[in-house]
Structure 1
Amino acid sequence: MKFYATLFLFLCTFSVFAQTTVYQAFEADSAAEPRGGMPYVTTFLQANLRKPIAAEAQGVGGRVVVTGIVEPDGRITDVKVANKFRPDCDREAVRVFTLFNAWKPGYKAGKPIRQYVNIPVTFKPNPPFLYENGARVSYFDKDDKLIADSSKAQYKQLVPVDSLGIPSGDIIVYKTKGKGWKEETRMPLIRKEGSVRGPSGKTEYLIGYQDGIIQWNGLLVSIDDKGAILRQTYFQDGKRSGTELVYHPNGSVSEKIEEFDDKYVTTSWYPNGQIRQIQSSAKPKPNVPMPPDHVLAYWEDTGRQLIKDGAGRATYQTQVPLPADSTKFIAFVEEGQYQNGFKEGVWKGRYADGSYSYEEQYDKGVCQTGKARQADGTELRYTEVQKQAEFKGGMPALGQFLASNLRYPADAQRARVQGKVFITFVVNTDGTIADARVLKGVGYGADEEALRVVKAMSGRWNPGLLRGKPIRVKYNLPINFTFN
């Protein structure tokens, strides 16, 4: 009995040892490799990399080599630093590499194995800046030009940011006074509930800076109720500027939207870090119809590329809000062909539960005809996939309505108050208005007057349409009060 017990223990020990053996790449019959290809791993790591504020302030650049184990199921584990740079950057390199879990495992003797992999993570140098007491410090001369010599400065600006570069306090501008500084202006840090809810059903909260006419300026960060970053965008005078990042619930980047002179290029990833799609979108131009998006490449979640150089057949599955309750989401599947980067021929889509479906005919990315079957069996036909809510008669009629109905309040006239009142409201499916409120006002009765006029528009709107069906649409309208 002792012999058999000893043999059993030996076999168990050998089995555990065999399962935990980790191979080097040269020992594998086929080495582990990232799904989608190595270049897109680098792109993913750079999109997710948050250079520590201390390293960014010093402007340093360098490389960290990290190592990990690719498991038979494609996950990465036991991530460590193999070649150090500096402690804060080393920790960040480990964090971002841990996010990438889209590997094809290595194989030996026909079976998937555990295998070591090494990846370099590069921190690019940048212009250094002064960072003191949790704030970026900048100096300006009398002409508001940025200068390095504080002794020659007329103004000093403090921008409080945390260790990740996220806004953490009011922006304060000081002006020289004698041998010291006196606060001249302050831009408060705004924290408010956003109006967008994701598939998780969680409310977004916005953190950033707004100027006197409620335009966002600088970095705008969206977080959930637990403080996880959902989105970060740069704004200049109320307009999006630079690169925007959107995040998955697991903290990895889901979309990177880069701005160019005449277009935006969006790179998207699956939650495990695998590349998903690359597409470009034209920038909107006044009085010019928006051209369709141009899809350059698409990969399914197995790593297989379905669209290359704008050609191929794709199947998408996304989460979309239910028409009856926009806070609830359902899986939506659509599929069709791309040619030269544009939708071509027949495209079909459906809810996962089969309660809704559509079929559309495309030519060079533009919908020619479409029909949608509703849950009750009725069928809607259309030529535009989505149509915005519009005041009946268009913008000229809206301008005429405001000119005929808006009254300048006496208190505002006496106080010589001018400016824009921003009203937000919802256009219902029957063209009526709901939830009208003042976003930003000027006071002296102008806010109340603007709100009165907007409410008087109820019933004068054509509702927004999605595949032929009326939908509720949120609308923001600036109303200007000026002296003639």
Structure 2
Amino acid sequence: MKKRTLLISLIALGVSQAFAQTKNVTTVYMANSGDIVESKEKADFVRQILSPDPEVDKKTSTVLDFYMNGNKKLIAHTRDAGTSESLYGSYIEYFKDGNRKSIRNYKNGTLVGDAVFYYPNGQTYYTTNNNRIVQSFDANGNAIAENGNGKWIIYNDNFKVIAEGAIVNGKQNGEWTGFDEYGVKTTGVYKSGVFVSGNLFANDNKVYENCKDFDTQAAFRGGDEKLGDFLSRNTRHSKSIQSKNIDGSVLMNFIIEKDGSLSNIKVVKGISADVDAEAVRVLENSPKWQPGVLYGVARRVSYTLPISFSPESKLNPSETSPFYSQPFYSIPHTAPTYSSILK
């Protein structure tokens, strides 16, 4: 599954609404699920996107996350604040107590070069090179994989085991065992990192064999091109919008429910009241999406989408790709997941 990466934040004292915006900074209160929340009291962390400084780099925005206790959570950079594919340069994560969680680098959204991931106690968890596992360690610092061969254990953000198995040449190989956040057990057979077959031991006590659709990403039916067509056809450009010569994107966040309907539609970063309202209206009239599926069971998904407006009063479908839609854990994968299933 193509992975999407959660971006950025900073505590803004005195801000009580879901987000605040200045000329160069957008601040949003976030839950760990990836959903936008209404206030600081409901937030797990705060996210801020700093617009590019033309005197330093006209293309690169700075991405900052801070925990609610004020400690750093993430420092990253992006060449286009709308998409995870645009992550570019250094990307450093921290645990809540301030210890480092990971150090890595991206180019056009792809993990490149060497990366190091850590346990909360400061021990090295595993290392990668160009997204292949090189070394893996247990929490006591004992090596369980060297030179890409051995064992790898995957944890969630609370460091509860969600998958484990063998790796060969830095990729999953052989049988892996996993558990989702609800305790659902799966087994999967991998060959050079590719899922071949597997079983799901579901909550209904049934065993589902060879469930190749156990991890399906939520998406607009027909893909991004159809999504762009829908937005182009259904967006109304009032005289007020046209007179403002609008050229920019409204960043939206919403939940894709288990039946594919959209809920909790919110503006993350807007342009003006009438443009923002139009972006909300269009999504409220969206047809049902393809819901996210984990082990054959539909799940709720938090999704963020930029909707682009231009002076020609047309939407550019090429700019409607989402930057975040990662509601569940893959079993197993070659990069960590930073969100959880929405309940």
Normalised TM-score (structure 1): 0.51
The CA distance in 2 between the partners of 1:168 and 1:394, in whole Å, is 37
The answer to which structure, 1 or 2, has the higher relative contact order (CA under 8 A, 6+ apart) is 2
C-alpha change, 1:254 and 1:385, in structure 2 (3 Å) is farther
Give runs of aligned pairs for residues 301-320 of structure 1, distance below 5 A: 301-316=139-154, 318-319=155-156
Say which of 111, 119, 132 aligns to 1:294. 132
The CA distance in 2 between the partners of 1:256 and 1:397, in whole Å, is 37
Q: Give the Å deviation of 1:385.
A: 5.0
C-alpha change, 1:206 and 1:358, in structure 2 (3 Å) is same
Q: Give the Å deviation of 1:197.
A: 5.5
Q: Give the Å deviation of 1:345.
A: 1.3
- For 1:390, what is the secondary structure of its paired residue? coil
Please report the RMSD computed on the Cα atoms of aligned residues, expressed in angstroms.
Answer: 3.4
AA in 2 matched with 1:235:
T
- 2:75 is the alignment partner of 1:232: yes
The CA distance in 1 between the partners of 2:276 and 2:24, in whole Å, is 22
The CA distance in 2 between the partners of 1:268 and 1:221, in whole Å, is 19
Say which of 368, 371, 377 aligns to 2:205. 377
Q: Give the Å deviation of 1:448.
A: 1.8
C-alpha change, 1:468 and 1:280, in structure 2 (3 Å) is farther
C-alpha change, 1:405 and 1:379, in structure 2 (3 Å) is farther
- Which string of whole-angstrom CA distances, capped at 9 and with x for unpartnered residues, describes residues 299-356 of structure 1? 112322111111112344x236xxxxxxxx683342211111110111111369x942
The CA distance in 2 between the partners of 1:254 and 1:330, in whole Å, is 12
Q: Give the Å deviation of 1:255.
A: 0.9
Say which of 196, 205, 209 aligns to 2:46. 205
* Contact 1:332–1:351 (Cα < 8 Å) also in 2: no
The CA distance in 2 between the partners of 1:435 and 1:270, in whole Å, is 35
* Contact 1:345–1:363 (Cα < 8 Å) also in 2: yes
Normalised TM-score (structure 2): 0.69
1:452 aligns with: 281
Instruction: Count how many residue pairs are aligned between Structure 1 and Structure 2.
Output: 277
- For 1:398, what is the secondary structure of its paired residue? helix
The CA distance in 1 between the partners of 2:106 and 2:240, in whole Å, is 45
C-alpha change, 1:471 and 1:168, in structure 2 (3 Å) is closer
AA in 1 matched with 2:76:
T
C-alpha change, 1:257 and 1:404, in structure 2 (3 Å) is same
- 2:242 is the alignment partner of 1:413: yes
Q: Name structure 2 gaps, 5 residues minimum.
A: 1-9, 14-21, 35-41, 314-343
C-alpha change, 1:216 and 1:426, in structure 2 (3 Å) is farther
1:254 aligns with: 101
- Which string of whole-angstrom CA distances, capped at 9 and with x for unpartnered residues, describes residues 409-459 of structure 1? 122224443433332211111100011122233336332222111111142
1:271 aligns with: 120
Give runs of aligned pairs for residues 26-45 of structure 1, distance below 5 A: none
- For 1:196, what is the secondary structure of its paired residue? coil
- 2:92 is the alignment partner of 1:245: yes
* Contact 1:279–1:296 (Cα < 8 Å) also in 2: yes
- For 2:156, what is the secondary structure of its paired residue? strand
- For 1:271, what is the secondary structure of its paired residue? coil
Q: Give the Å deviation of 1:370.
A: 2.7
- 2:192 is the alignment partner of 1:192: no
* Contact 1:312–1:339 (Cα < 8 Å) also in 2: yes
Q: Give the Å deviation of 1:382.
A: 2.5
Q: Name structure 1 gaps, 5 residues minimum.
A: 1-165, 170-185, 282-292, 321-328
C-alpha change, 1:220 and 1:415, in structure 2 (3 Å) is closer
Structure with the largest fraction of strand: 1
Q: Give the Å deviation of 1:397.
A: 2.2
1:344 aligns with: 173
Q: Give the Å deviation of 1:219.
A: 3.7
- 2:215 is the alignment partner of 1:391: no
Larger-Rg structure:
1
